[in-house]
Amino acid sequence: MQDTLNIFKIGGGIIDDADQLSQFLAELARVPGRKILVHGGGKGANQMLTELGIAPQMVNGRRITDAATLDIVTMFYAGKTNKQIVAGLQAAGVNALGLSGADGNVIQATKRPVKDIDYGFVGDLTERSVNAQLLDQLLRAGLTPVLCAITHDGRGQLLNTNADTIASTVARALAALYRVELHFCFEKDGVLTDINDDNSVVPQITPERYADMKAAGQIAAGMLPKLDNAFAALEAGVEKVVIENALKINEPVKTILCRS
């Protein structure tokens, strides 16, 4: 039987709050077995961009990354944020190793082609983008990789890449080696049928129920891309996907997405 590998993704809301981040890392340290953490950014990059007179540009929730913006987000994501998280995990007793995609060639991306919108230095991924062998070696050496949202193209160019996409792609790439459980952690306890009722958590969603819930308009628009990616990961071999509260990952209330 394959070993279980838990892959966790956290976003900026947790990263921006030092107390919540510390609490999450303490909870993560309690999760047994092999694990990988993928993190996005926080508000720090936007604050520095604004201080430097560079207006952050977003289209449909995605950052436009010009050369100046890339410098700033690299400093924050691959530098300050990544190392703060690694230091916090070390304090919690987890031997973590912080990586950008360029480190060990762990994630090699392709610059997004210009179509209707030029996203700048943004990287797109396929399962072949992930160096699964290196991640496996690190995991078997007892290390917990901490991956930030900065990748590279193999020709010296760094690229900004969506952290949800990184987590899903890494999960797919490692599904051949492990029984992978992918966790998306945010401020709610799971997928809610009523966005205004925190107690309306759906405990389990199959592809069939997901289709019914979408048709009935029971899922908030902002959750749809995350769930679409989650079910695509299940189809690609990931064992299960969990949507949960970042501060309650060891508690039973959460939404589990499964193949059937």
The pLDDT of residue 216 is above 80: yes
Q: Which CATH class is domain 4-257?
A: alpha beta
| Phi, then psi, of 228 in degrees rounded to 5 | -60, -45
Q: What share of the chain is helix, strand, coil (3-state, %, to 5)?
A: 40, 25, 40
Report how far residue 234's alpha carbon sits from residue 181's, in angstroms, rounded to the nearest whole number.
10
Report how far residue 56's alpha carbon sits from residue 253's, in angstroms, rounded to the nearest whole number.
36
Q: What is the DSSP letter of 208?
A: H
> Model confidence at 41, in pLDDT bands (50, 70, 90)?
confident
> Model confidence at 32, in pLDDT bands (50, 70, 90)?
very high
| Residue ranges of domains in the chain | 4-257
Q: What is the DSSP letter of 9?
A: E
Report how far residue 103's alpha carbon sits from residue 77's, in angstroms, rounded to the nearest whole number.
14
Annotation: binding site: 41-42, 63, 160
What is the value of pTM for the model shown?
0.94
Report how far residue 126's alpha carbon sits from residue 109's, in angstroms, rounded to the nearest whole number.
8
Mean pLDDT of the chain: 93
> Model confidence at 1, in pLDDT bands (50, 70, 90)?
low
Annotation: binding site for substrate: 41-42, 63, 160
